[in-house]
Amino acid sequence: MQLTRAADYAVRVMIHLASLPPAARLSRASLATAAEVPTQFLSKVLQVLVRSRLVIAYRGTRGGFGLAVPPEQISVLTVVEAVEGPIQLNVCLTNGLGCGRQGWCPAHIVWQDAQAALTQVLKNASIAKLASQTVAPRQEKVVYPWN
Amino acid sequence: MQLTRAADYAVRVMIHLASLPPAARLSRASLATAAEVPTQFLSKVLQVLVRSRLVIAYRGTRGGFGLAVPPEQISVLTVVEAVEGPIQLNVCLTNGLGCGRQGWCPAHIVWQDAQAALTQVLKNASIAKLASQTVAPRQEKVVYPWN
């Protein structure tokens, strides 16, 4: 019962992008350094974030990666679920997958409650708020579309 | 981020054993039916529960499996951790494994809080209480040591 590396990295990337000035874009290499992700792995994570419309990939000399959505509207839960799919702490909580024991199994409600408690914390954690708490040193070259 | 099948089955087994009268023992086959676990998989789960001193395996004609600890003293968290090891929602929360980002990474506290919320629910869920809520039909042959 552990978060995937991809989801962890995706959250790091989103927080880092959110900590930049609005409209700023960052190269894949800078993001890899900032989020401490192997470049190849980062490419896969960025693909998922772009496909989920959380990140935009800009091409060309002023290209790079930037947020597609204001970070105030993005929670850690959104990012985790973009990578891992809906959180389902146990298979019996999978939507559409009926469990024959569900009607009477006393453990079912425990898994439900545990999942609700977990997702509530992740839902309340705004990417914008987390970005404002970042105190890591900054060294990367940020690109703006108007440069 | 999902519970292993083994942990899910272990919780089912413990609840079922706790729902029996004190000192009762149940055969592997009856447990397999009650917990809806393939017998071979159940053997592995029972091995772990015996090794963790949550279950006792009794040999002989009056043999079977019974709880080693009063169910009031066992939580769902205890059972899950007996099977999966300590819950660590993210690798950065692993005891003893330092994370270079930990001092400033704003996501770290989110993973900590999410893990605390999740484990609190599992810790509060007593196996005895859950067993008292079981309303499944009973068909198995229960063995007592004095029979």
Q: What is the ipTM of this complex?
A: 0.88
For residue A92, name the pLDDT band (cuts at 50, 70, 90): confident
Q: b vs e for A17-28, b when ≥16 Cβ sit within 10 Å of the residue's Cβ? A: bbbbeeebbbeb
Q: Distance (Å, rounded) from C-alpha A132 to C-alpha A135?
A: 8
Looking at the partner chain, which of B36, B130, B131 has a beta carbon nearest the beta carbon of A110?
Answer: B130
Task: Establish if A111 touches chain B: CB-CB under 8 angstroms.
Answer: yes
Q: Does A114 touch chain B (CB under 8 A)?
A: yes
* Average pLDDT over every residue of A44-49: 97
- A133 inside 8 A of chain B by CB: yes
Place of tokens 């810790």: B123
Alpha-carbon gap: A140 to the closest alpha carbon of chain B (Å): 17
Alpha helix positions (H), B19-141: 28-35, 39-51, 76-84, 107-124, 127-132
When the pLDDT of each residue in chain A is averaged and rounded to a whole number, the result is 89
Positive/negative CA dihedral, B110, B116, B119, B120: negative
Tell me the whole-structure pTM to 2 decimals. Answer: 0.87
Q: What is the DSSP track for B123-142?
A: HH-BHHHHHHT---------
Q: For residue B136, what pLDDT is reported?
A: 56
Partner A, chain B 3-42, Cβ-Cβ below 8 Å: 3-5, 7-8, 11-12, 15, 36
User: Contact at 8 Å (CB) between B6 and B45?
Assistant: yes
Contact B107, A76 (CB under 8 A): yes
pLDDT at A136: 56
Min CA distance, A11 vs chain B (Å)?
8
Q: What's the confidence (pLDDT) of residue A94? A: 80
B106-126 per-residue burial string, b: 16 or more CB within 10 A, e: under 16:
bbbebbebbbebbbebbeebb
Q: Do the beta carbons of residue B126 and residue B5 sit within 8 Å?
A: no
Going residue by residue through chain B, which has 147 residues, state the pLDDT in tens, using 9 for 90 and above.
Answer: 789 999 999 999 999 999 998 888 999 999 999 888 898 899 999 999 999 999 999 998 888 999 999 999 999 999 999 999 999 998 888 866 667 777 778 899 999 999 999 999 999 999 999 999 876 555 566 677 765
Radius of gyration of chain B (CA): 18
Neighbouring CB atoms inside 10 A of A137's CB total 6
- pLDDT greater at residue A60 or residue B55: B55
